[in-house]
Amino acid sequence: MTRYARWIAGLAGLALAAALPAGNGAKAVEVQHVITPLGLEAWLIQNDRIPVISIEFAFPGGLTTDPEGKEGLTNLVSYLLDEGAGNIESRDFQNLLNDRAIDLYFTPGVDHFYGTMRTTALHAEEAFDLLRLALTAPRFDAEAVERMRAAVLADIRRTVADPSWMARRAFYEVAYPGHPFGRPSRGTAATLGGLTTDDLHDFVARRFTRDGLVIGVAGDIDADTLAIALDTVFGALPETSDFEPIAPPGPPPVGESILVQRDGPQSSMLVVQNGVDREDPDYYAALVMNQILGASALRSRLGRELRERRGLTYGITSWLRETELVDLLMVAGQLSNENVPEALTQTRAVWLEMAQGGVTEDEVSDSVAYLTGSFPLLFTSSEGIAGMLVWAQLEGMGIDFIEDRTARLEAVTADQVSRLAAELLDGDGLTAVVVGNPPDAFQADTVLSAEEMAERELDAGL
């Protein structure tokens, strides 16, 4: 192992701090803005009570940037960065991580490529050095590439058997044909088989760069030490990235019904309509609206109507799906086949009622209280904090994001949510995807077969 000669030497980075109240304001969570000697920036919440350090970072560009025919490239890279780097082969690299209990993993998102590392303070030096190697000199040895190709294929095999995955897959495929949003993000057996070592090296060279890099750190490390570590890890990366931004797709379909035939006791239901952009002035009102609508099965209109009153389903949840190019409002639930028509009728009724009748002051104040009050609960582990710091930066928020978010939520009124609901919610315009064997009362415009969809993903094209 190489060690940092300069680890303790104080090449002090510049640290600006903002003290922010959390929760009831009894205590301050201090977010520090760290600027390294090389000019990298990171947000840090220091906590020396537990000897653990977590770092999360994001590079721009995610799953949708895979070129046509090379679907699955981003995902495969995320499997391989800890499988050997520099002159350390896969087994030795894994041994170094495991023996020091260093967690290192990479996660491709739709818009970003994320990395996360958690280490005990005891092994921080080695951990940062292994991270540097993983990002700058991954080996992509043939043995590891083949092993991870097989692992991804096994993942695809497992998920094509999952009806809720199949529902999302069917929606994106029908909604965005030909667009990256409509293509399989982990690839198919065929595209996965075609990826080469050159593709992998090329990805790393063009995509792991310093522009657009966002970093969040939490735990037992001070700003000066972190600044040096960050320069060591990320300092050698190229300045600018090189990848084609993708064009936005058209709007999602309105009022479509899609059936994916599959045998089993239950159907998986996915209901979708257009959502609200992060930059939209109504964005925070949309967050509140979603709370009232269905964010929690125990405390929402959908939960009350479908679960509490009618016992149609165990879990029903709605969420705002925000990405850079596509914003959706989605609802998912799993229920017995015979209950599908009633569940869809009730979902449309909930939509109609809110669009026409609006929301109450109590519903808004309860939801705002939940969204603001539960926010500090996300700050109770170093991994959670590091993730929040990256999230806030990607959302374009300032270092005062905790207060800012609270203020924006508290400014939302019942009138605003009711107006938004009237404009946005379109019960008849909902697109419904059902994966299962529902009764004929569910009439589909498009009928697919789960078996054929699975075969398509798994056909190696030989």
Partner 1 sequence: MPLCTRASVFSTAAAALIGLQTLASPAHSGVFEPEMFELDNGMQVVVVTNRSAPVVTHMVWYRVGAADETPGVSGIAHFLEHLMFRGTDSLDDGEFSRIVGRNGGQDNAFTSWDMTAYFQNVAVDRLPLVMEMEADRMVNLALDADIVDTERSVIIEERRERIDDNPSSRLSEQMLAALYQNHPYGRPIIGWEHEMAELSLEDAAEFYETWYAPNNAILIVSGDIDAAELRPLAERIYGPIPSRPVPERARPQEPEVAIARRIVLTDPNVQQPSWRRFYLAPSYARGATEHAYALQVLNEIFGAGTTSRLYEALVLDQGIAVGAGSAYSPVYFDETEIGIFVAPNGDVDPEVIEAAVDAEIALLLSEGVEEWEVESAKERLVLAAIYARDSLGGPARTLGRALTAGVGIDVVEEWPERIGAVTADDIMAAAHAVLRPGRSVTGLLLPGDPEAETGQESAQ
Could you give the CA distance from residue 279 to residue 281 in angstroms, rounded to a whole number? 6
Closer to partner 1 by Cβ: residue 261 or 274: 261
* Minimum CB distance to partner 1, residue 8 (Å): 17
Give the Cα separation of 55 and 387 in Å (integer).
8
The least distance separating partner 1 from the CB of residue 248, rounded to whole angstroms, comes to 33
CB of 249 to partner 1, least distance (A): 29
Give which of 366, 351, 369 is closest to 293, Cα–Cα: 351
Comparing CB distances to partner 1, the nearer of 175 and 226 is 226
CB nearer partner 1, residue 326 or residue 389: 389
Interacting residues of 334 by C-beta distance below 8 A, sequence separation 6+:
163, 164, 266, 267, 268, 269, 313, 314, 315
Neighbours of 211 (CB within 10 A): 11
φ, ψ at 59 (rounded to 5°): -100, 145
Long-range contacts of 2-9 (CB under 8 A, 24+ apart): 2/129, 3/125, 3/129, 4/125, 4/128, 4/129, 4/228, 4/229, 4/232, 6/228, 6/232, 7/125, 7/225, 7/228, 7/229, 9/228
Q: What amino acid is encoded at 227 in this protein?
A: A
**Interstrand relation of 14-22 and 27-35 (parallel, antiparallel or unpaired):** antiparallel
CB of 40 to partner 1, least distance (A): 25
For residues 88 and 450, which CB has a smaller minimum distance to partner 1 in the complex? 450
Nearest distance from C-beta of residue 49 to partner 1, angstroms: 6
The rounded distance, in Å, linking the Cα atoms of 237 and 208 is 7
Q: How far is the CB of 391 from partner 1 (least distance, A)?
A: 17
CB of 307 to partner 1, least distance (A): 6
- Residue 146 or 423 with smaller CB distance to partner 1: 146
- Nearer CB in complex with partner 1: 99/280: 99
Kindly tell me which of 143 and 242 has the beta carbon lying closer to partner 1: 143
| Complex with partner 1: residue 40 or 77, whichever CB lies closer | 77
Say whether 115 sits in a helix, a strand or coil. strand
State the pairing for strand pair 257-261/446-449. parallel
Residue that the structure tokens 């000897």 belong to: 51
The candidate with the shortest Cα–Cα distance to 266, out of 312, 226, 233, is 312
Minimum Å gap between C-beta 292 and partner 1 is 11
Structure tokens at 347: 């979902």
Q: Which is nearer to partner 1, 219 or 438 (CB)?
A: 219
Comparison of 95 and 443: residue with beta carbon closer to partner 1: 95
Helix (H) or strand (E) holding 271: strand 266-274
Closest separation in Å from C-beta 252 to partner 1? 26
Q: Classify residue 250 as exposed, middle or buried by CB count within 10 Å of its CB (0-12, 13-18, 19+).
A: exposed
Q: Tell me how far, at minimum, the Cβ of 410 lies from partner 1, in Å.
A: 12
Q: Alpha-carbon distance 188 to 193, whole Å?
A: 8
